Amino acid sequence: MVAELAENGTIELGDAALAGEIRQRLETAGTRGTPSGRTTASGYLGPGGSATWNATFLAGQYARVDVYGSGGGDVDLYVYDENWNEIDRDNDATNWCIDEWHPRWTGVFHMKVVNYSSCYGISYQLVTN
């Protein structure tokens, strides 16, 4: 879905800049981190809302998760292993998150996306390599 949206040049309410950023990231996403290759997810988070996605990442392979929020706001990304130990996070005050790591084992990882805005909701796209 993310690739299709990037091809169209607009996201949600006509956010061409976000579509361009997604297109660029898709082209430079790197090596395969999940057994099936790139995976995508999308959703909407209300003020203070969160969502969790799961994916299997391969031992010793470069793993990457990108999250792009449309509009302004503060979207954060937290990555946990199967035991909910935090592996990485990107919790700066932007609407674009990137987490990168090299898993020591093949297993399921949890990716938690959080909208820290207390005023408005945000649509987001999540992309793994």
For tokens 């994916």, the residue is 55
pLDDT digits (tens, 9 = 90+) for 94-122: 889 999 999 999 999 999 999 988 778 88
Res. 85: pLDDT tops 80: yes
Please check whether residue 74 is in contact with residue 114, taking contact to mean a CB–CB distance below 8 angstroms. Answer: no
For residue 8, the SS3 value is helix
CA-to-CA distance for 62 and 126, rounded, in angstroms? 17
User: What is the model's pTM?
Assistant: 0.73
Please check whether residue 5 is in contact with residue 73, taking contact to mean a CB–CB distance below 8 angstroms. Answer: no
